[in-house]
Amino acid sequence: QVQLVESGGGLVQAGGSLRLSCAASGRTFSSYSMGWFRQAPGKEREFVAAINWSGGPTRYADFVKGRFTISRDIAKNMVFLQMNSLKPEDTAVYYCGAARNSLLVASTTPTYWGQGTQVIVSS
């Protein structure tokens, strides 16, 4: 069982940066693939970024490549999303997810979800 708690969201101007954090509890955290997803008002939840168990391989949605970076600290049971060059269209609730299968595979969906953290990017 994995429990996830996101933090770090807020209001930022376009072009600015935010760093989201996801704290995980559960003794087998290191065996889970981790990802970030987002849901804008009136839209479906969409994939943003994922990182594998070892913290090495990553996958990004095309619309964040070069702007967002996912990382994890297994020792601290944390996963992060560094978001730079933010755009108004990045406004959404951002969710952390965990899966036993690799989230680097597009068809994989998380088994566990956090409650989400709101990101608002003003123009």
pLDDT recorded at residue 2: 83
pLDDT tens per residue across span 29-50? 778 899 999 999 999 999 999 9
pLDDT recorded at residue 27: 67
Mean pLDDT of the chain: 93
Average pLDDT over residues 61-73: 95
DSSP collapsed to 3 states, the chain: CCEEEEECCEEEECCCCEEEEEEEECCCHHHCEEEEEEECCCCCCEEEEEECCCCCCEEECHHHCCCEEEEEEHHHCEEEEEECCCCHHHCEEEEEEEECCCCCCCCCCCCEECCCEEEEEEC
pLDDT recorded at residue 104: 87
Average pLDDT over residues 83-108: 94
